[in-house]
Amino acid sequence: MHEADPEPSVPLRVLVVDADDRVRESLTGLLGIGTQVVVVGSAGQPGPALDLAEAATPDVVIVDPRLPEVDGGLAFITGLRARVPSARVLVMSWTEGLEHSALADRADGFVRKTFRPSELVAAIMAASRPAA
């Protein structure tokens, strides 16, 4: 029997990066309900998102790969890894099969936008763990 991981004593710091204002607001509100995660900011454009990530030093950055001015999210993840190497990346998308793409290969986790709240928190927690 596998025991559930205990709830962290310190909430994970999360940055939400999505071009859609409604998605960012919804995720921020949803994640603010529990105690496992605290949203340290949100952004809809790659440049401001990278600046915010550098300033806020989140544990996990939730990224929609369809950011404007970015090559499928790959450039954003590359820039994020250069500026905030400690940040883990959770890709969130509507696209089926994206979890097997080059983009997902550079991410620490993947979740579809059709998630249940418990699935999102579980995906954030999983992405925050170092690779085995």
The reply to whether 67 falls in a domain is no
Q: Residues 44, 37, 52, 78: is their CA dihedral positive or negative? A: negative
The reply to whether 94 falls in a domain is yes
CA–CA separation, 54 and 61 (whole Å): 11
- Segments forming the whole domain that contains residue 119: 27-38+46-61+74-132
Given pLDDT bands bounded at 50, 70 and 90, which one contains residue 106? confident
The reply to whether 130 falls in a domain is yes
CA–CA separation, 103 and 13 (whole Å): 22
DSSP 3-state of 6: coil
Give the pTM: 0.85
The reply to whether 90 falls in a domain is yes
At 44-90, the pLDDT tens digits run 999 999 999 999 999 999 998 888 766 657 788 889 999 999 999 99
- Which CATH number does the domain housing residue 116 bear? 3.40.50.2300
The reply to whether 3 falls in a domain is no
Overall domain count for the chain? 1
Q: Is the predicted pLDDT of residue 118 greater than 90, yes or no?
A: no
